[in-house]
Amino acid sequence: MRLTQFIVTFPFMVMFYLCMTYEESFSAEPKYIEPEVKEARFDKSTVNLLKVDRDKLASSVAAYVANSGKDGTNGSDLDTARRLLGFALHLSPRNRDAVIANFQFKKGLPRKKIQPEYSPVTLAEVLQSRAKFLIKNGGDLNVSLAGYMLFVAVQVDSTNETAIYELEMYRKDIGPVNWSSLVGEGPKDKGSE
């Protein structure tokens, strides 16, 4: 009797132990994955944006992410936060707001509201107009940055029809925005979808 009871309960005890030991891997709660920023791609003199402008844009994007993120966000929101913070860190790798927001997302800490340089509507307009300027100037790095800026502009203000149009024309003429090359592979990186 004891042997059969042991045989029946042993697999359940093992499964319980494994579940407790590997709780993170079985967790259904989405986790923030830090963007891979080894070398800031757009923090260079060859980009036709002043360092001051790159820093202001990085601060405003980080403020948008920190202020719009909610506790218990879903996987899609965390993926968007990862992309936008990765973009901000590539613009200005030492930007205080971007570094702090990235750390807080990574550790799952509550985020303090950041006073943005631009409102979301103004930020989208600034990103869209600077993207147009960069495309006119040409150069691989400028055109690449323009694509990311248009994507971020649409994320920040999805009612900005000019930014939506410019992003769709960018995709048609140049190609999709490749986020995995900017922030690394995510759990379900789908390019520019």
In degrees rounded to 5, what are phi and psi of residue 153?
-60, -40
Q: How many Å is the maximal CA-CA distance in the chain?
A: 83
Residue-range domain boundaries for the chain: 51-183
What was the pLDDT predicted at 28?
58
The vertex-44 CA angle with 43 and 46, nearest 5°, equals 140
Residue 178 near residue 41, CB atoms below 8 Å: no
Q: Is 35 exposed, middle or buried (0-12, 13-18, 19+ CB in 10 A)?
A: buried
pLDDT in tens, 113-138: 888 888 899 999 999 999 999 999 88
The pTM assigned to this predicted structure is 0.77
pLDDT in tens, 46-103: 888 888 888 899 999 999 998 886 555 666 788 888 899 999 999 988 899 999 998 9
As a whole number of angstroms, the distance between CA 35 and CA 69 comes to 16
